Structure 1
Amino acid sequence: MSPLPVIYHLIVFVFLAYSLAYNLLNIKDDPGSNMFTYRGYGGKFKFLTFWLFLLQTFYFGFCLVNDILGSNSRPSQSKRFLRSKLQRCRDILLSSVVFPVGIFVVCTFWGIYVVDRELVYPKKLDKFIPSWLNHVMHTTILPFLIMDMYLVYHHFPSRKRGLQILMSFAFTYLVWILWVAYHANIWVYPVLKIMAPHERVIFISVLIALFGSIYLVGEGLNKFFWGKERRQYQLMVQKSQS
């Protein structure tokens, strides 16, 4: 096995773990603001970005464990495509949650930021959140995940199963932020606060559709990088059924 994936996963995991520790220990609150507050109900767990921060750090740590104790099997390596349980979990985690949620955060954050940053990341946050940490949470996600997908073969589950897992995650977070709004009277994102109820329904529906679209982008990117391996797997399946 090439040592490159191990080295890459180790470097990214250490970097993310340090960034997460810095976030937890040093980023406390936005003084004098009732928006984007880490105080009170839910704390930092109100934000999808923080969920992703935890997920991404866990994912790259899990990749490292798999590199050492599991497998990085590809269909072309043997007549039987055998993956360890760790590799199976890693592939499902990336394809069904980490990649689509990561790209979703990057696209929606910077898309809204360009239109009106006050709706997603008020300028006052620059005073107590370092620029480098902002980019760790909202920018580096994209190159980190694409490089991982390029270096290591990931076997995507069936589209139906992958979308079911992703939509379960999306609806879980949706229920959470609606509960926070109802129970604590806090709209996690100001863009939702200024909308009428019917506008929120439309906005959220569009975002859920975007989740599904991004899953398909992940499938396409995986096919672009590993099309030969995917074709090899399809041939193996056809032979086993004949």
Structure 2
Amino acid sequence: MDEHKKKFLGLGVYTPVWLFYYYVSKQYDYVYSNNSSNYEAFVNLKRFGSFYFTGWNFSAQVYFLVIAILDELAHLLGIPQSVDKYFGLVRHYLFTAIVFPCSMMVSVMFWGLYFVDRELVFPRTLDEFYPSWMTHSVHSFIILPIVTEINLPKKHGYEITDFNHAFPVLTAFIVSYEITLLTIYFVYGVWLYPIFKYLTWLQRLSFLVIVYAITVLLLYLGILIQNLKKPKKVKIGDGV
């Protein structure tokens, strides 16, 4: 691919993805506003939809796409370097600290539990309201922006967010969610994910710790992959 086309690659991928995510969010709104089912799983999703981790991650991806599109535009339009640098910094920080580890966690955990026993995470009764493409859009399709960002040509001076800077942000994000999850149970008596109904309190807390630990490992993996993909600096005198 020539250099001219590479300049538009990010916009060419992220703009339609953002539009698709907008469509997905509108479809979820349509489902909730046009169904009055009393199925417990559906009622919980309708009432607490914004408190599911899938929703938090989906929102993080939307924000990331907006920043990435602005960053690509800033680079193409040649706006002041300080603004361009700001968009780039936020983009790389958000991707490394939140988008990569959390999106991978959502996909791996959801489909892992789904194939073990889907009633633990997405009861069969929900198929009546959500076509499979909607389920895949927030649990499978979310991997596309990750693969894209890792493989996009990087701007000159690009620096990967290191583990020590990303770790506190990811920790705050995960701990905030887990506190939210427990708060909803103590206030409303509702477990957002059915798996928690079948666990003892020791198992529940252990499960939350394991989820956190896996997400941190995914953070490390994401940084490792980015470093492996980063172009090597060529020293003067190398090559022919």
Scaled by the length of structure 2, the TM-score of the pair is 0.84
Following superposition, the deviation at residue 12 of structure 1 comes to 1.1
Separation in structure 1 between the aligned mates of residue 16 and residue 100 of structure 2, nearest angstrom: 19
Say whether residues 1:208 and 2:212 are aligned partners.
yes
Question: Which shows bigger deviation, 200-209 or 148-157?
Answer: 148-157
The residue type equivalent to 1:96 in the other structure is: A
| Cα deviations by residue, 1:47-83 (Å, 9 ceiling, x for unpaired) | 1111112221221122111111258xxxxxxxxxx96
Question: Which shows bigger deviation, 57-66 or 99-108?
Answer: 57-66
| Aligned residue in 1 for 2:139 | 138
Following superposition, the deviation at residue 33 of structure 1 comes to 2.1
| Aligned residue in 2 for 1:10 | 15
Is the Cα–Cα contact under 8 Å of residues 11 and 69 in structure 2 kept in the other structure?
Answer: yes
Q: Secondary structure at the match of 2:230?
A: helix
| Cα deviations by residue, 1:95-136 (Å, 9 ceiling, x for unpaired) | 001111100000000010010000001111111111111100
Following superposition, the deviation at residue 225 of structure 1 comes to 1.7
Is the Cα–Cα contact under 8 Å of residues 114 and 120 in structure 2 kept in the other structure?
Answer: yes
Is the Cα–Cα contact under 8 Å of residues 41 and 126 in structure 2 kept in the other structure?
Answer: no
Say whether residues 1:192 and 2:193 are aligned partners.
no
Would you identify which runs of 4 or more consecutive aligned residues in structure 1 move more than 6 Å?
none
| Aligned residue in 2 for 1:53 | 58
Is the Cα–Cα contact under 8 Å of residues 162 and 223 in structure 2 kept in the other structure?
Answer: no
The residue type equivalent to 1:32 in the other structure is: N
Matches within 5 A, 1:29-48: 31-36=37-42, 37-40=44-47, 43-48=48-53
Scaled by the length of structure 1, the TM-score of the pair is 0.84
Separation in structure 2 between the aligned mates of residue 152 and residue 101 of structure 1, nearest angstrom: 23
| Aligned residue in 2 for 1:105 | 106
| Aligned residue in 2 for 1:223 | 227
Is the Cα–Cα contact under 8 Å of residues 70 and 86 in structure 1 kept in the other structure?
Answer: no
Is the Cα–Cα contact under 8 Å of residues 71 and 84 in structure 2 kept in the other structure?
Answer: no
Structure 2 counterpart of 1:178, from 171, 182, 188: 182
* Identity rate, percent: 22
The residue type equivalent to 2:138 in the other structure is: M
| Aligned residue in 1 for 2:123 | 122
Q: Secondary structure at the match of 2:41?
A: coil
Question: Which shows bigger deviation, 26-35 or 124-133?
Answer: 26-35
| Cα deviations by residue, 1:15-62 (Å, 9 ceiling, x for unpaired) | 11111222223345682222352344xx21121111112221221122
Following superposition, the deviation at residue 158 of structure 1 comes to 2.4
Separation in structure 2 between the aligned mates of residue 70 and residue 184 of structure 1, nearest angstrom: 48
| Aligned residue in 2 for 1:161 | 165
Give the alignment's Cα RMSD to 1 decimal: 2.2
| Aligned residue in 2 for 1:77 | none
Aligned length: 220
Separation in structure 1 between the aligned mates of residue 31 and residue 192 of structure 2, nearest angstrom: 21
| Aligned residue in 2 for 1:89 | 90
